[in-house]
Chains A and B, each alone.
Chain A
Amino acid sequence: MTGPRLLQNFRGLAALVAAPTVPDGLALGLARLGLHLTHLPDPTRPADVDAERHVILLDADQPQAPQAIASLQAGESRAPMVGMIGLETPGRLRMLFEAGATGLLRKPVQAGALYSTLYLAVNAHRQRAESERRLADHDRRRRGRRFVISAVLRMTQREAIDEDAAYEVLRRAAMRSRLGIEAFCEAWLQTETESLSPTPRKRDHG
């Protein structure tokens, strides 16, 4: 499997820093790497997050960290998340893991550690998003296979052709319709009025 191309230059991304204060060194480190900094001091305030443009840096030690996560993930789009953490306890780490954090910055935050952390966090997030997209696609196709099987059976009976030929007819028709074969078969089974055979229907000479 080929994953998405790796992001190695963070120019133009915005870092949403969900923390009571912006740690020393973080602003400088982000500026060096070409990221804009947006400070989100109020964890309860909904944030407009865009997975393509944002990376979240969350202070995981603040008491309101769960509320901040909820606010940042309220929309459909989940941005890459880095946890800034001093309390390396199972509870805090679990909270970050379940929130989908793919990077950690130990406090006190060192600007020198930022590039490596962002590189891993952003690209792990992109790779995970790509895997999830592929998995969802496979799931959707798997659910649609029953329509393909039904359609092939129906076609073999209706056209008196074997299964391979029936599948080929359906596949070509799906391509003409610019649909996946699963979606095409589902739709065709609901109508099933027109002939799809590229060749004339076999006549009964009996």
Chain B
Amino acid sequence: MDITRIGLLFSTDGPYGAIGRAMLNGALLGLREANESCGAALQPVLANPGGDLARYKLLCSRLIDRGVRHIVGCYTSSSRKELIPLVEKRDALLWYPSHYEGFESAANVIYTGAAPNQHIVPLADHVLGQAAAGHRGPRFFCLGSNYIWAWENNRILREAVLGRGGSIVSERYVPVGEQELGQAIDAILEARPDYVFCTLIGISCWRFFAGFRAACRARGIDQAREIPVLSCSLSEPELAEIPVEARDGHVSSSVYFSCVDSPASRRFVAAYDHDFPAGPPASADAESAYIAVHLLARTLAATGTSDVARVVEAAPLHSFAAPQGEVRLDAQTMHAWLTPRIGRSRADGRFDILYEAARPVAPDPYLVGSGPRLSRVAPSLRIVS
């Protein structure tokens, strides 16, 4: 049996190492299952950029040098953007298993994570739908890591909020990896918004949740009830990094939570916990990498080749009964049909599901069917260094 090498390019340490480890675990579990059940001979080749953007291209290039044509990897959009010219030039295929901000359909990328209509749009609908019963439009404070994920999600939220009578009281960004968030927390408490929309990633996110809860407690504010935090990326591995007293009551939009009660989800969580007892816990990012590997394995088995063009053509023909539900790729955008959910975090590091779409939702990475035609008037922002 011919062995097919699959590159697994995840930052398992660095500022978002916990997420990277969960994604790697999901991919490794997918490979083990594919090898056992489909009779595939997929061999993982691991590479760890350590969260250093400059190392992604170098390590990906080395993988391709070693004969790897299919790479499952990346978490941040900036790392994915680094690799796109390389995989296009060298005819490799990146299977990108993370939620992202959309507005991309690169020829040599398959997207198995959520597009914006599958995470931020449902979150905005959920929150604004609840707020509609109130007397005034809700006020949001946006705080994010200073890169495209935060910029674009904030734009989408702003358009949804302003279109429905709400307001954005502030939009703040800190560098990726920033751990000093006291000023931002003070600003939030001064503004007293109805919601904080958090697009911080990795250690900044964990530090924020801990610091914000502590600051609210010190002022006698029931943070989860009075100023709930909304996120499109908060997952079980991140909750594990947050002190237990600050874990509960946060609202997250995701296509998968490990509490999803289905046979496929229970099997996935059990197998994941068995293979990786040291964690991080199973999550949407782990599941997305798991889905990517399964879809790749099925396509490779069906086509009998790792030729990129053949795989891209054939991949949308396969579906997978994933832990979140049925998943398949849309041939037009090479993004996945996924099932949006809204969850609320618990102190034990898991989520309660508040909302679940009835069926998988078609990806709409350019928000052609889910966004306004005209942009809202740009906010008058004060630049604060």
Contacts and interface: CB of A to CB of B under 8 A. Distances in A.
Nearest to A34: B368
Contacts of B371: 8-9
B375 A5 contact: yes
Nearest to B103: A115
Contacts of B374: 5-9
Given A9-B367, A32-B333, A33-B366, A112 B105 contact: yes
B106 interface: yes
A106 to B, nearest CB: 15
* Residue among A6, A8, A33, A34 with max Cβ neighbours from chain B (10 Å): A8
B332 A32 contact: yes
Contacts of B103: 115
A11 B375 contact: no
B369 interface: yes
A115 to B, nearest CB: 6
A interface residue count range (under 10 / 10 to 19 / 20 to 34 / 35 or more): 10 to 19
A81 B118 CA distance: 33
B368 A8 contact: no
B358 interface: no
Interface in A4-51: 5-12, 25, 28-29, 31-34
B366 A34 contact: yes
Contacts of A111: 105, 107
A33 to B, nearest CB: 6
B377 interface: yes
B366 A5 contact: no
Interface string B354-385: 00000000000111110111111100000000
B370 to A, nearest CB: 9
Nearest to B335: A32
Name the prevailing secondary structure of the B interface residues.
loop
Contact of A11 (B105, B107, B332, B369): B369
B245 interface: no
Contacts of B372: 8-9
A37 to B, nearest CB: 13
Contacts of B368: 9-11, 32-34
Interface residues of B, number: 19
A194 to B, nearest CB: 44
Nearest to A35: B368
Contacts of B104: 112
A29 B106 CA distance: 10
A5 B106 contact: no
B359 to A, nearest CB: 22
Contacts of B369: 11, 34
B182 to A, nearest CB: 36
Nearest to B155: A8
Nearest to B366: A33
A8 B105 contact: no
A10 B372 CA distance: 10
Contact of B366 (A6, A12, A110, A115): A115
Contacts of A6: 374-375
A110 B366 CA distance: 16
A102 B145 CA distance: 34
Contacts of B367: 9
Contacts of A32: 105, 332-333, 365-366, 368
Interface in B93-126: 103-107
Contacts of A10: 368
B312 to A, nearest CB: 12
Contact of B107 (A9, A12, A33, A112): A112
Contacts of B376: 5
Contacts of A110: 107
A130 B42 CA distance: 58
B314 to A, nearest CB: 17
A7 B107 contact: no
23 contacts: A5-B374, A5-B375, A5-B377, A8-B371, A8-B374, A9-B366, A9-B367, A9-B372, A11-B373, A25-B107, A31-B332, A32-B105, A32-B333, A32-B365, A33-B366, A34-B366, A34-B368, A34-B369, A110-B107, A111-B105, A112-B104, A112-B107, A115-B103
Interface of B: 103-107, 332-333, 365-369, 371-377
